[in-house]
Amino acid sequence: MRYQLHPSSDELPQLPLRLVASKTQQGLLMALAIAFTALGVWVAQEHPVIGYLGVAFFASCAVTAALELLLDRNYLEMTEQGFTVVRLLRSYRLSWGDVSHFSVVTFIATSSVAWDYSAKVPHRPALAWVNRMIVGADGTLRNYALDYGFNPIGFALLLNRVRDRYA
């Protein structure tokens, strides 16, 4: 379902809402990974180590993209209680009250929506400190804003409004 973001509007989406990544974008990612796998095979004729490392990496990317595409394991679901992020091998759920705020961070030229845990969360995940060192926030939603066709700033504003309402 596509929800039109209007950052200046106070309108909130009707929950529950499941945002599913674009099948076209996932298919293109898979095709690109397959093309780079083929390129790795070609490079391996002259430079075996580099070529086969490329083949291993890009083939695993292609398999991952294909599985996400076929198994529908790439979505963000928001409910009145919180949000759930579902990926191929991992999913996690946070309540709105567990998040102090959402913001936008940029890492390697890619903007992502990020969050910080609220002070009332006594035990943060073991690797939250690593996220904080790398991107300056406790967690990120990867490039979900772009996957769902949203501007990251508008998406962070929307998530903050939903959090304010249901936390």
Q: What is the pTM of this model?
A: 0.77
Burial of 97 (0-12, 13-18, 19+ CB in 10 A): middle
Q: Give the tokens for residue 39.
A: 């390129």
Question: What's the pLDDT tens digit per position in 97-118?
Answer: 999 999 999 888 888 899 998 8
Burial of 22 (0-12, 13-18, 19+ CB in 10 A): middle
All structural domains of the chain with their residue ranges: 24-71, 76-166
Question: What's the pLDDT tens digit per position in 131-165?
Answer: 888 888 888 887 666 666 678 888 888 899 999 99
Residue type, 162: V
